[in-house]
Amino acid sequence: MQKKGLLLVISLCLAAIGQLNAEDGSRLWLRFQPQEFRSLPSFTHIRGDASSVAYSEFQHAWQEISGSCLPERGRETEHTLLIGTLKERQIRRLIKGHELQELGREGYIIRTTGEGSRRTTVVASAGEAGLLYGVYHLLRLIQTGSCHDSLAISEQPRYDIRILNHWDNLNGTVERGYAGHSIWQWDQLPLHISPLYKDYARANASVGINATVLNNVNATPDILTRGYLEKVRLIANELRPYHIRVYLSINFSSPAELGGLENSDPLNPEVEQWWKRKADEIYQIIPDFGGFLVKANSEGLPGPQDYGRSHAEGANMLADALKPHGGIVMWRAFVYNPTEEDRAKQAYSEFMSLDGQFRDNVIIQVKNGPVDFQPREPFSPLFGAMQQTALMPELQITQEYLGFSNHLVYLATQWKEFLESDTHCMGEGSTVARSTDGTLLTHPLTAIAGVANIGLDANWSGHHFAQSNWYAFGRLAWDHTLTAEEIAEEWIGMTFTTEPAFVDPVREMMLNSWETAVDYMMPLGLHHIFAWDHHYGPEPWCDIPGARPDWLPPYYHNASEEGIGFDRSTTGSDAVSQYCAPLSETFNNPASCPDELLLWFHHIPWDHPMQNGRTLWDELCYRYDGGVQQVRAFQKVWDRMEPYVDSERFRHVQSRLRIQSRDAVWWKDACLLYFQTFSGKPIPYDIERPVHELEELKKIKLDLKHHN
């Protein structure tokens, strides 16, 4: 009877493992699924400080992974997993202290020692944060089937601050968020503390994210009132065990709005004192508060220029208030005010003259491109050029310009292109990454930010595959030398399955998805031809009476009978001269400018011969059509994956791909039919014919304000 009972238990366990139960995506990539025992490390003992978050996280995950109902089989070896810091004698005996000290408090070592039948695998760090990151690294290896019994890993982060920017409003909405309302649920605090905060912290820590800005850069002064600061304290308490520091976006006019002062002039002594008192109050409530994120004198928000002061004077005043507490100011370079100048030149024009004038606890946060998170942009020319001031890249995880949560677009490929772009400002090899991570320029702190795509949807990001962009941001912020392919394969294995028949085609789909979206939206350097306000669909004809020209698509595409594109050459707006040589010369010449950026830097005749022999018009047509056909290929790939995915997630992604396919046709037809009114040329006859009428497309008006 005992034998039959054991066999029944084993059969039930194996059946449970093999069954694809419905999943809602809420566990993200932290799905510690039971696995067959032979795929697990041969740990016989797990030791460490039971009070350590890192140790408890591993124990919790290990229990889920190993499966409580699988029988323990005989072991000929004794393999101990030891988790700890230098405080523990066993760690000091197995790992030399200087090795861990050199890696810093966030670095870690995973190493297997011993021979024969007795082995020890050590996860060790000089600090508790590094220990947690090391444990998650080991779990990632186990989840992806990459763990073995002889490990030798040593890592430390490339950037000091790896931060999410939440564009969350105090009323619960999320600007440019497409996954539901804000997870912070301000109206429920302080009476109810959501368990989501801990889940959020675990997910971020698992990929090395160590900071978060809780509120929108379009900030209201109310966030600095005592009532909201007490709510921030409660959130900070939930995130702190996972080594995540809290930051806030502030409104520059807060002294006048909240303090009743006559103005918010940064050189007004009363204003300076107000900010110092406010900083003292914040740190009394939240001792490890990180600092401020500031959007000033952009899109109508107040700033130091309202009083004739510079960005440096405004940032330094805040930095001085935070300095005694160890806080920092992240001052955004996104300046978007009415000007006769090419909008792509504004950030460089305003900030280059201020290089070296900022306090050492100020970091200038610069969007990856010079305009605004477009599907493809050249890197901002501030990177590499602004050398006496710390710069931090700002990436957009949420897909404001890439189909929201309806389109499958894996962004690691876009971010790798950006980070590996060579600025040439400090010689060959002075990439964006190396100019901001401390390799080429020495500043007190290095940082990188990502605009979060997180909301209250069960799957956090609105699209199951959008989770990969949150994951990829964290992994690249930790180590930007990882490839987009490596990150995709990790995420697939942890989120779905490690079965090669699933991993290989899905990985290729992800790696092709960004270029595909660029092709069906805005190929060859076209940009910002989105629908008015919500930025979802195409509207290249958009003309709003009274609107600023740089809010409208014709400002950017300049389509005419002569050609299309924005002339930023030396005979146009001269934006090319903001780049260092020889890149400036490369971009300035249409013959050497990369095809992918041709219409960003040049106004090109429709008959211009491309490098592949086609005319510009024909190449545009083939790019748009190629994007449509590629999305349809994605549908076929996903449909074949049904045996490997639970039904709930399979149907969700399948439905979103249908939307994406229809949207791709919408983009192709709208852009080609509209641009054809200028080119006067036929769409090549081997390309699928448009299925819409241009005048009908012009009538489409979507109400997507609920997304803001």
Which sequence positions are flagged as catalytic? 299, 372, 400
* Under 8 Å between Cβ of 205 and 136: yes
* Residue 650 DSSP SS3: helix
Residue 51 CB burial class (10 angstroms; 0-12, 13-18, ≥19): exposed
| 64, 86, 188, 372 from 58: Cα distances, Å | 10, 19, 31, 40
Measured in degrees and rounded to the nearest 5, phi and psi for residue 298 equal -145, 135
- Which residue bears the tokens 């912070």? 184
Distance, in Å, from the CA atom of 329 to the CA atom of 217, rounded to the nearest integer, reads 13
The distance from CA 599 to its chain's CA centroid, rounded to whole angstroms, is 26
* Under 8 Å between Cβ of 138 and 123: yes
* Under 8 Å between Cβ of 376 and 527: yes
* Under 8 Å between Cβ of 124 and 134: yes
| Amino acid at site 152 | A
Distance, in Å, from the CA atom of 637 to the CA atom of 336, rounded to the nearest integer, reads 41
Return the bridge partners of 538, or none: 530
Return the structure tokens found at 41: 């490390």
DSSP states of 264-303: --TT-HHHHHHHHHHHHHHHHH-TT--EEEE--SSTT---
* Helix, strand, coil distribution of the chain in percent, nearest 5: 45, 10, 45
* Under 8 Å between Cβ of 392 and 365: yes
- Segments in 95-247 forming alpha helices (H): 97-103, 128-143, 196-206, 226-239
What's the alpha-carbon Rg for the chain, to the nearest Å? 27
The distance from CA 108 to its chain's CA centroid, rounded to whole angstroms, is 24
Distance, in Å, from the CA atom of 694 to the CA atom of 678, rounded to the nearest integer, reads 13
**Upstream peptide bond of 190 is cis (omega within 30 degrees of 0):** yes
Return the structure tokens found at 366: 């610069």
Return the structure tokens found at 137: 């690294």
| Amino acid at site 52 | S
Query: b/e string for 642-670 if b means 16 or more Cβ within 10 A?
Result: eeebbebbbebbeebbeebbebbbbbbbb
Instruction: Return the closest-CA partner of residue 294 out of 313, 273, 267, 271.
Output: 313
Direct distance between the N- and C-terminal alpha carbons of the chain, in angstroms, rounded to an integer: 63
| 368, 422, 450 from 383: Cα distances, Å | 9, 10, 17
| Pairing state between β 604-605 and 563-564 | antiparallel
